[in-house]
Amino acid sequence: MNTKNSINYLLHLADNALILGHRNSEWCGHGPVLEQDIALSNISLDLIGQARNFYQYAAEMMGGNTTEDSLAYLRDVTEFKNNLLVELPNGDWAQTVLRQFFFSAYQYFLFQELMQSNDRQVADIAEKSLKEVTYHLRWSSEWVIRLGDGTEESNKRMLAATDYLWNYTGELFEAAAYELQAAGNGITINQAGIKQQWEVKVKAVLAQATIEMPKNEWMHAGGKQGQHTEHLGYILAEMQFLQRAYPNAIW
Amino acid sequence: MTNKFEHIADYSADALKKSILDMLETVTDPEIPVLSIIDLGIVRDLVISPSPVNMHPTLEIVVTPTYTGCPAMDTIKMNIRLVLLQAGFKNISIKQALSPAWTTDWMSEKGKDKLRAYGIAPPQYKQAVCTPDIFQEEEAIQCPLCKSYHTATVSQFGSTACKALYRCLDCKEPFDYFKCH
């Protein structure tokens, strides 16, 4: 069994959750209304919880001095394996909720697959997370529809968000080499199946939001292999500052 | 409670287990201090293995988080350890199990009554809205203050991960609902 591939895949799952959780947390104290500010902060908390579970498992496989904290705070940009979608700036509320919708719909189908994994720990994390993702998917779907099918202004913004984010969705379904090879370790994923279910869900919600689903054209990629946009460096600079400036600081 | 279990051999296995569960009953959720971790249903297993070396058996306590990112879990684990150490146990291992995933169905009836008295609407008996379907018909949640069912959801996400925010359309008070999960 080649654990390297499993570790890389776990890091990919964890990085996606951590970076999106961190991005969403930037809204804390800035949400359009208090209740929605709290909602997005709750979603951030769930995502960071998922990240911790995946990091803990990866750290256990890696052994030595590796911990969930060293994985989150002491790796550099090129070592992060998250999708580009999650590191993009928040933009306005439309862009934030649409990104959450694209991502939650992806996790919703992905975790149903991972629950069948022969790797018991991965299956358990997926089972637990899926219950929370169900709430995220519902919340974000409703916001996409509310804005898309809302006022002229909100519709314009949801259209702009769709234009901006769409070309980052393809990467979710492009398996990295370690992802395919992790299948040999019992972490089996049916990428094509997830993509198909995702497209059905997205199309239905966008239709209700009166937004035409964009055509599948050229897509950005590279995040899973550590090739990121310039935005990730800024996130890490802020998130990792304390541990870099004061190694092993605790409080 | 100090050194309560000095003469551990005097206890039968069942009596020991019951005493330990009684102690865990004193560990509460730091966010909702009226609920014990037994009420919440997050203690999934307790294994007591006799130690051949000394009089201190090994305790293995399996807990499950309510929500993966719930910050109360770390505090709860620490408090479990603390209460058992105070009782004189030395070999304590606290493990986390994620599957089967925690559900509000595991909350005790006693716990639901305590929640209601505390001003939080307890989870419904039958789960109704744990699906991704959008704009679902709202559950009729009873206001814990005036007991009216004439209430409305403000947000599916509340002051902690496990709660949703409601308001009563009769007495006009906002209240927390411990949402189905």
Which of the four pLDDT bands, split at 50, 70 and 90, describes residue A157?
Answer: very high
- Per CB-CB distance under 8 Å, the chain A contacts of B100 are 127
Chain A residue with minimal CA distance to B135?
A142
Do residue B68 and residue A49 have CB atoms under 8 angstroms apart? yes
Do residue A49 and residue B133 have CB atoms under 8 angstroms apart? no
- The answer to whether the CB of B65 falls within 8 A of the CB of B33 is no
Closest partner residue to A128 among B71, B99, B156, by Cβ?
B99
Q: Quick one: pLDDT at residue B2?
A: 45
A244 vs B171: CA distance, rounded Å? 53
Burial readout A205-240 (b: 16 or more C-beta within 10 A, e: otherwise): bbebbebeeeeeeeebbebbebebbeebeebbeebe
pTM: predicted TM-score of the whole model, two decimal places: 0.91
- The answer to whether the CB of A126 falls within 8 A of the CB of A117 is yes
Q: Quick one: pLDDT at residue B131?
A: 77
Instruction: Note the pLDDT tens digit of each residue in A16-48.
Output: 999 999 999 999 999 999 999 999 999 999 999
- The answer to whether the CB of A61 falls within 8 A of the CB of A3 is yes
Which of the four pLDDT bands, split at 50, 70 and 90, describes residue B130?
Answer: low
